[in-house]
């Protein structure tokens, strides 16, 4: 296929990119794929094509790559599609907003004219990023959402009145039991694999529905053969090409939707998997990667933990200590590397760049303060089979019943390097006269120092200073029982949040530099 010019210059002419070929892309020089990558995902839209005013300068066109300079990121993943439209100068698919103008949205207007300003000069917007990535020493992986495709109604799963759990109703999902649907995606992937990239990623986690109800088991082998066909095609385009897949959090959940990920790994159809769910943007330090890691490692494959940007809800960004806690847990539970999802503060501040730098050193991740946050239930993900224990209602006083909350801790809390360990529990509807029994791995915390604070009348925070009874490295079990309520107060309480803060001692904190004479 004849492609547009691939080489660029950093010179700016009247604020737009030029196509003089005096800034050639430098090859990476690697003969073997990286392992244990630290990857960063950009979805092409929110922090890129939607954000800049056209015409696009080369500085803006290179921004997604250049902003990662100096961090530990070694691989850039680019989400090249949304709604069946591609962010490239495609010949076989439909370019994003190709039906316009006119546009009824400024973000579509910006994206269209930003890409068009490059295309008008003979530049392919996707190739611009690939070349810049290689110039900066980063590998490039193109990620394609697998849940879309042709839009005619006859290709949709089309179940009237179906549940809307997940990214949307089943009516909006494509039936991969139809060869026409599979072929459209294959053509896109074949074109994308023709670019000089290090790999292709198949995003199956964007939407959970791929087959009509009642036809999942029948079509599961069909999907496996389809992944095999894609894998063979991608690898035929160049040596050491890798194939990745974004999948759901565990093997059972994937199989329920017709994705036999265990076979994909065992047959080496994919080189890595990244467990996640697109609508679930909460940083989940307890994501159970073990089942995927066991199968992947037996086949020589890899598992990547996905670091999402929010905690509790999409209004609270994770702190560096929270990100370190999740990263440490992923690695301790079998992950081989990390993928940083988008939606962190942008443009990247020093805090975000510090996070991206820490992730490249296991020592920096392991021996710095951690803030573990037990994830809370998100209804649409729970409806798909991935649930969490919080919020946990205790409907009434019942001293004989203990409710349990799992907590995984990558650190060794008994290490002499750790100076302080605190357990924080937020309890809704709690009053001081309530008797709440709290245990850690079956041992009561009644002898630990506990502070009780109330920031609002609906709840209280219980803060335990863990000195005698600390959590163990690995799996822990937090137990709670509502022993009694004061006279005249009916109902129960709810354990709404659980957090664990681990602070490392500073070995030279007491050292004082003498004054110079």
Q: Residue 388 and residue 311: Cα distance in Å, rounded? A: 14
Q: In the prediction, which pLDDT does 201 show?
A: 98
Do 437 and 481 touch, CB atoms closer than 8 A?
A: yes
How far apart, in Å, do the first and last CA atoms of the chain sit? 75
pLDDT for 290 beyond 50:
yes
Q: In the prediction, which pLDDT does 67 show?
A: 95
Report, as an integer, the average pLDDT of 246-253.
Answer: 95
CA 324 to chain centre: 14
Lookup: tokens for 175: 């039936």
Q: Which helix (H) or strand (E) holds 497?
A: strand 493-504
For residue 450, list its beta bridge partners: 464
Q: In the prediction, which pLDDT does 8 show?
A: 34
| Residue extents of the structural domains in the chain | 12-26+34-369, 389-504
Q: Residue 219 and residue 308: Cα distance in Å, rounded? A: 31
Percentage of the chain modeled with pLDDT above 90? 73
For residue 477, list its beta bridge partners: 406
Length of the chain: 517
Residues 6+ apart with CB under 8 A from 96: 49, 82, 85, 86, 87, 108, 111, 112, 115
Q: Residue 22 and residue 324: Cα distance in Å, rounded? A: 41
More confident residue, 314 or 93: 93
Q: What is the pLDDT of residues 410-441, one digit of tens each?
A: 999 999 999 999 999 999 999 999 999 999 99
Q: Which CATH superfamily groups domain 12-26+34-369?
A: Glycosidases (3.20.20.80)
Of 268-272, 345-349, 492-496, the range with the lowest mean pLDDT is 345-349
The Cα-based distances of 485 to 170, 333, 432, 480 in angstroms read 46, 39, 10, 14
Q: What is the pLDDT of residues 461-491, one digit of tens each?
A: 999 999 999 999 999 999 999 999 999 999 9
Is the CATH number 1.10.3720.10 carried by domain 389-504? Answer: no
CA dihedral 33, 35, 41, 44 (to 10 degrees): 0
């Amino acid at each position: 296929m004849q492609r547009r010019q691939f080489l660029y210059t950093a010179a700016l002419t009247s604020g737009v990119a030029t196509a003089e070929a005096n800034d050639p892309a430098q090859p990476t020089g690697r003969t073997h794929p990286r392992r244990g990558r630290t990857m960063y995902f950009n979805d092409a839209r929110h922090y890129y094509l939607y954000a800049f005013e056209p015409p696009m300068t080369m500085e803006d066109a290179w921004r997604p790559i250049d902003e990662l300079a100096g961090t530990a990121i070694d691989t850039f993943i680019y989400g090249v599609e949304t709604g069946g439209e591609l962010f490239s100068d495609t010949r076989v698919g439909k370019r994003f907003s190709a039906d316009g103008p006119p546009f009824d949205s400024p973000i579509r207007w910006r994206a269209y004219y930003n890409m068009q300003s490059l295309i008008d000069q003979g530049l392919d917007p996707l190739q611009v990023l690939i070349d810049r990535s290689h110039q900066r020493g980063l590998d490039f992986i193109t990620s394609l959402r697998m849940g879309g495709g042709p839009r005619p109604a006859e290709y949709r799963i089309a179940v009237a009145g179906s549940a809307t759990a997940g990214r949307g109703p089943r009516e909006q999902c494509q039936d991969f039991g139809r060869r026409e649907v599979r072929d459209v995606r294959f053509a896109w992937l074949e074109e994308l694999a023709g670019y000089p990239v290090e790999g292709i990623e198949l995003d199956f986690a964007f939407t959970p529905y791929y087959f009509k109800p009642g036809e999942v088991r029948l079509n599961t082998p069909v999907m496996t053969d389809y992944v095999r066909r894609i894998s063979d095609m991608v690898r035929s385009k160049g040596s050491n090409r890798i194939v990745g897949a974004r999948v759901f959090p565990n093997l059972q959940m994937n199989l329920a939707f017709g994705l036999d990920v265990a076979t994909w790994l065992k047959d080496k159809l994919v080189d890595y998997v990244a467990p996640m769910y697109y609508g679930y943007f909460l940083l989940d330090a307890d994501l159970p990667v073990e089942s995927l890691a066991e199968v992947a490692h037996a086949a020589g494959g890899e598992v990547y933990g996905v670091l999402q940007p929010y905690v509790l809800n999409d209004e609270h960004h994770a702190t560096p200590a929270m990100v370190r806690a999740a990263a440490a847990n992923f690695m301790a539970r079998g992950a081989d590397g990390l993928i940083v999802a988008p939606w962190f503060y942008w443009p990247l501040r020093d805090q975000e760049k510090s996070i991206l730098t820490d992730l490249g050193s296991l020592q920096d991740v392991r021996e710095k303060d951690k803030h573990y946050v037990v994830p809370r239930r998100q209804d649409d993900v729970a409806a798909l089979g991935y649930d969490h224990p919080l919020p946990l209602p205790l409907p009434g006083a019942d001293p004989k019943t203990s409710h349990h909350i799992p907590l995984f801790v990558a650190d060794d809390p008994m290490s002499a390097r750790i100076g302080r360990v605190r357990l924080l529990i937020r309890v809704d509807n709690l009053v001081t006269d309530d008797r709440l029994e709290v245990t850690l791995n079956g041992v009561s915390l009644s002898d630990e120092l506990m502070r009780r604070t109330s920031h609002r009348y609906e709840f209280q925070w219980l803060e335990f200073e863990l000195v005698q009874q600390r959590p163990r490295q690995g799996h822990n079990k937090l137990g709670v029982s509502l022993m009694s309520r004061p006279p005249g107060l009916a109902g129960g309480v709810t354990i709404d949040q659980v957090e664990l803060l681990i602070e490392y001692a500073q070995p030279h904190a007491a050292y004082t530099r003498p004054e110079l004479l």
